[in-house]
Amino acid sequence: MLANITSSCIKGIEGFIVSVEVDTAAGMPTFSLVGLPEQEVKEAKDRVVAAIRNSGFDMPLKKITVNLVPAEIKKAGTHFDLPIALGILSAAGQLGEEAVKKLNDYIFIGELGLNGKVHACAGVLPMLISLKKQSSKKAVIPSANIVEAAYAEAEAFGAKNLREVVDLLEGKIPFEQESAAKVVLEEEQELTLKEDFCEVKGQALAKRALEIAAAGGHNVLLMGPPGTGKSMLAKRFCGILPPLTKEEALDILQVYSVCRLLGKNKKIFNRPFRDPHHTISNIALIGGGQNPKPGEVSLAHNGILFLDEFAEFSRASLEVLREPLETFKVTIARAKDTFTFPAKFTLIAAMNPCPCGYHGHTTKTCNCTPLQINRYKAKVSGPLLDRIDLTVSLNPVNYKDWQKNSEGETSAQIRQRVVAARKRQKERFKDSSTTANAFMSVAEIKKYCPLPQGGGEILEIAMKKLGLSARSLDKILKTARTIADLAGSDDIKKEHIIEVMQYRPLDRKGVSDI
């Protein structure tokens, strides 16, 4: 007999429908699995056989063939266990007539334990989101993944074991979607912050640069000796970012679902903050592997990627950042397929000015030679620096700033200005997919960033004196647009462009002439 069960699979972070065809025929008892299954799918044979027997059913002693359609696309994951088991039971005549009819009403996703328990599996959320667009069927998923059905706003039954799924199909238990918390995201939600900007002593220029970065989604490089507050500032950056929209949160949740990083009751209210160690591999940073999975840049989607000790990362690891910083996505090509992961993040990089860390320090002596300093800085290539909007040199905090009792601005105060600037941008880009100034296209730069009187002369001198590229000029205009938004100005003014120029100290040879 032949049975056809509907399931799903993941390609990148997009789901697509897979038909699980099961045929049982007379002959030597065998179990064949075809349709380009990866190793974890092939291992389903042993899990399914044990789960069927330990759930009180009979494993048919027949020639069993399972085909995963479409057969030309590789299938990975453990979630095919449940549909394969149901297909075998249906083809073997162990399900009632009513249950066989109901099989067509559902999409089945789930990993089986040897005792028949339905375990959680990866990628349930993007599967359900994609399936809602392609099918009107209800879903049967692991009970541990039921909260993901709530995020996707999909009708789903949270199954605990194989026997419970069969009872559902036979009408012995009703279809009841387990209650799960919805994604509640308010535009003006209040965040509980453990770390606040008011705790950072001094460093007014760096705070201002991070405020601009938060308001426009710009990338930042913090450079300074050890102990100047680079990491401290970066870790407080989340507190001044605008709240997540529901669409942004859903994008984040899909990436985390594919990586098995969603707990049963996990909600995303804060933007992701990823801070990988400088020994990270290229694949772990950018994504990939035999069955490509998202890397740190995708886990930082709609959030922050903080790279401390920037110059200590391998040159190859840093260079792979160039594509996502430009296109806001990662494309991984394989011989037979291509995978795309989202990677729209704000980069905050921190590094010392030299190997020992004390070049330019007011009191401590640097022991590095000019050659060592140049080699150290050369680890970060020009094309990568070209993709960074704001560069700030931090100086050691003096005693007077450190011992001040009065606190500076709080994260909440800075955040109010950031949210106001983002609202201006939301209105500006309401008819496009652009979400912030940093992500403007060339056409949008021409439309929304007209130069003020005298602005062209400033940029012309800057281009000659500092050797700026066309990309750098575009970034200057984008950043100036953000400064204007923070000031509540409809137009970019000359002082906004002048302010941007002080955040490019790595290019500042001759900047005093501008």
Instruction: Quote the pLDDT of residue 39.
Output: 92
**Percent of the chain whose predicted confidence (pLDDT) is above 90:** 60
Q: Would you call 186 exposed, middle or buried from its count of C-beta atoms within 10 A (0-12, 13-18, 19+)?
A: exposed
- The answer to whether the CB of 41 falls within 8 A of the CB of 33 is yes
Query: What's the pLDDT tens digit per position in 216-247?
Result: 999 999 999 998 889 999 999 999 999 888 88
Distance, CA of 242 to CA of 259 (rounded, Å): 25
- The answer to whether the CB of 467 falls within 8 A of the CB of 426 is no
Residue corresponding to tokens 């010392």:
352
Distance, CA of 33 to CA of 374 (rounded, Å): 58
Instruction: Give the confidence band of 175 by pLDDT, cuts at 50, 70, 90.
Output: confident
Instruction: Give the confidence band of 269 by pLDDT, cuts at 50, 70, 90.
Output: low
- CA torsion sign for 295, 299, 300, 301 is positive
Instruction: Give the confidence band of 63 by pLDDT, cuts at 50, 70, 90.
Output: very high
**Is the pLDDT reported for residue 187 higher than 80?**
no
Instruction: Quote the pLDDT of residue 12.
Output: 87
What average pLDDT does range 192-202 have in this prediction? 77
More confident residue, 504 or 232: 232
504, HSE (Cβ side, Cα atoms, 13 Å): 32
What average pLDDT does range 181-210 have in this prediction? 68
Instruction: Quote the pLDDT of residue 510.
Output: 34
In terms of DSSP bridges, do strands 138-142 and 156-159 run parallel, antiparallel, or are they unpaired?
parallel
**Percent of the chain whose predicted confidence (pLDDT) is above 70:** 92
Is the backbone of residue 56 left (phi > 0), alpha (psi -120 to 50) or beta? left
Distance, CA of 198 to CA of 200 (rounded, Å): 5
Instruction: Quote the pLDDT of residue 478.
Output: 95
Instruction: Quote the pLDDT of residue 227.
Output: 86
How many other C-beta atoms can be found within 10 angstroms of the C-beta atom of residue 381? 12
Instruction: Give the confidence band of 1 by pLDDT, cuts at 50, 70, 90.
Output: confident
Instruction: Quote the pLDDT of residue 289.
Output: 85
Instruction: Quote the pLDDT of residue 268.
Output: 60
Distance, CA of 128 to CA of 122 (rounded, Å): 12
Q: 224: closest CA among 343, 353, 128, 136?
A: 353
What average pLDDT does range 487-504 have in this prediction? 90
Here the tokens at position 404 are: 């001040």
Distance, CA of 498 to CA of 136 (rounded, Å): 56
What average pLDDT does range 23-30 have in this prediction? 91
Distance, CA of 267 to CA of 181 (rounded, Å): 9
Instruction: Quote the pLDDT of residue 91.
Output: 93
Distance, CA of 385 to CA of 380 (rounded, Å): 7
Residue corresponding to tokens 């011992």:
403
How many other C-beta atoms can be found within 10 angstroms of the C-beta atom of residue 248? 19
Q: Which of 310-314, 353-357, 458-462 has the lowest mean pLDDT?
A: 458-462
**Contacts (Cβ under 8 Å, ≥6 apart) of 501:** 458, 462, 476, 511, 514
Whether the model clears a pTM of 0.85, i.e. scores above it, the answer is: yes
Instruction: Quote the pLDDT of residue 209.
Output: 95
189, HSE (Cβ side, Cα atoms, 13 Å): 19
Q: 213: closest CA among 199, 233, 195?
A: 233
H or E segment and range at residue 306: strand 304-307
Instruction: Give the confidence band of 479 by pLDDT, cuts at 50, 70, 90.
Output: very high
Q: Which of 1-5, 152-156, 173-177, 478-482 has the lowest mean pLDDT?
A: 173-177
> Mean pLDDT of all residues in the chain?
88
What average pLDDT does range 64-73 have in this prediction? 93
**Is the pLDDT reported for residue 90 higher than 70?**
yes
Instruction: Quote the pLDDT of residue 466.
Output: 77
How many other C-beta atoms can be found within 10 angstroms of the C-beta atom of residue 173? 13
Say whether 281 sits in a helix, a strand or coil. Answer: coil
Distance, CA of 309 to CA of 491 (rounded, Å): 37
Instruction: Give the confidence band of 178 by pLDDT, cuts at 50, 70, 90.
Output: low
370 phi, psi to nearest 5 deg: -55, -35
